[in-house]
Chains A and B, each alone.
Chain A
Amino acid sequence: MVKMKYILIGVLMVILGIIAAVFFFPSEEKRVEKQFHLLSEWVSKSPEENAFALLQKMKNIGTLFDEHCELKAPSQSLSGSYTREEISTYAGSARSHFSQLNLKFYDLHIVFPEKEVAKVTLTGRLTGKSAAGEQVDETREVECVLKKIGKKWLFHRIEVIEVLKK
């Protein structure tokens, strides 16, 4: 009975150890996923958002991007290389057209084609309400390339994939 007790305590400690390792030392995949969670959090907007929160989020969005990031979204007439300041300003301007915004990412497939390079294919869904009160619900497949600079994974390229070609 005493032996069984020690075995159970041992198993419990191993499980706790694994949980702690996953929590404190996340895999590179988790670190990449975290960038998407942050992007989603900072792009999203609640109707009660104040000016201070708006400025803070705009500033934060810029920190997720590489010094120069290539954007390719033909349907939004957006194509070219942009600095993180330009992206931050563009995001702030785009957010101002909405009273409520919710960005969610689904089905993230992460691969590491090279060292310190991550390629992510995902579905992005943007829902909300425009400043004019219209409901917005847009879904797109997106391909992103992130580069590890220092200890951070930064967005280096974002391309909107055309699923249905008119």
Chain B
Amino acid sequence: MAVNPKIRQFFFPSITPKFLIRAFSIALFAYLFFGYLCIPFTIRGGSMEPTYHHGGVNFCWRLRYLFSEPKRFDVVTVRFAGSRVMLLKRVVALEGEQVEFLDGKLFVNGKEIEEPYVRYPCHWNLPLRRVEKDCVYVVGDNRSMPIENHHFGQASKSRILGVPLW
């Protein structure tokens, strides 16, 4: 059976200089875009349940804070030594603010903060502390585990890589 030449050309293109330039340009663009601007990641663990589920796939958009600062309730990615492994957390307090947990309720500057994204029962207690300069306080949405088993706290703004795309 004869295959339509256009279809054959689409799947098996002739290796011409024009084709090579196009393929190289696409590869370079994809490398820069997905390597530095919009980094794909897989969610491991349930610290952001039920907002983000274990095994979910997302992209870290790195230009989000190019001209702005993280705000309360933003979900952000926090880097370790690089971008291969990141933490996905929610900003609950900003620099200079005082944060504490009383029987699972979040208080910022002594005022209780409504957190509709926290769906599981929480009974955390954390004494009052002030968020240091150039830092934000980040916590996961899933606080059903004991406080000592949850990775949270203040992170330097320089460690915030970006935000998940959705």
A121 to B82, CA, bound (A): 9
Q: Report yes or no: A139 in contact with B85, Cβ–Cβ below 8 A.
A: yes
Contacts of A122 in B (CB 8 A): 81
Q: Kindly identify which residue among B45, B82, B126, B153 contacts A165, using a CB–CB cutoff of 8 Å.
A: B153
Q: Report yes or no: A163 in contact with B87, Cβ–Cβ below 8 A.
A: yes
Contacts of B78 in A (CB 8 A): 163-164
- Asked if A164 meets B138 with Cβ closer than 8 Å, knowing A106-B85, A123-B85, A137-B45, the reply is yes
Q: Report yes or no: B81 in contact with A106, Cβ–Cβ below 8 A.
A: yes
Interface check A37, CB cutoff 8 A:
no
Q: How many of chain B's residues have a CB under 8 angstroms from any CB in A?
A: 19
How distant is A138 from chain B, measured CB to nearest CB, in Å?
A: 9
Q: Report yes or no: A164 in contact with B152, Cβ–Cβ below 8 A.
A: yes
Give per-residue flags for B3-45: 1 if the beta carbon is below 8 A from chain A beta carbons, else 0.
Answer: 0000000000000000000000000000000000000000011
Interface check A30, CB cutoff 8 A:
no
Q: Report yes or no: A137 in contact with B85, Cβ–Cβ below 8 A.
A: no
How distant is B85 from chain A, measured CB to nearest CB, in Å?
A: 5
Interface check B151, CB cutoff 8 A:
yes
A166 to B151, CA, bound (A): 8
Q: Report yes or no: B80 in contact with A137, Cβ–Cβ below 8 A.
A: no
A146 to B83, CA, bound (A): 23
Contacts of B82 in A (CB 8 A): 106-107, 109, 123
Please report A residues at the B interface, Cβ cutoff 8 Å.
106-109, 121-123, 125, 137, 139-142, 163-166
A-B contact pairs, 16 of them (CB 8 A): A106-B81, A107-B81, A107-B83, A108-B81, A109-B81, A109-B82, A123-B84, A125-B85, A139-B80, A139-B85, A163-B159, A164-B154, A164-B155, A165-B153, A165-B154, A166-B153
4 tightest Cβ-Cβ pairs between the two chains A and B: A107-B82, A164-B153, A106-B84, A123-B80
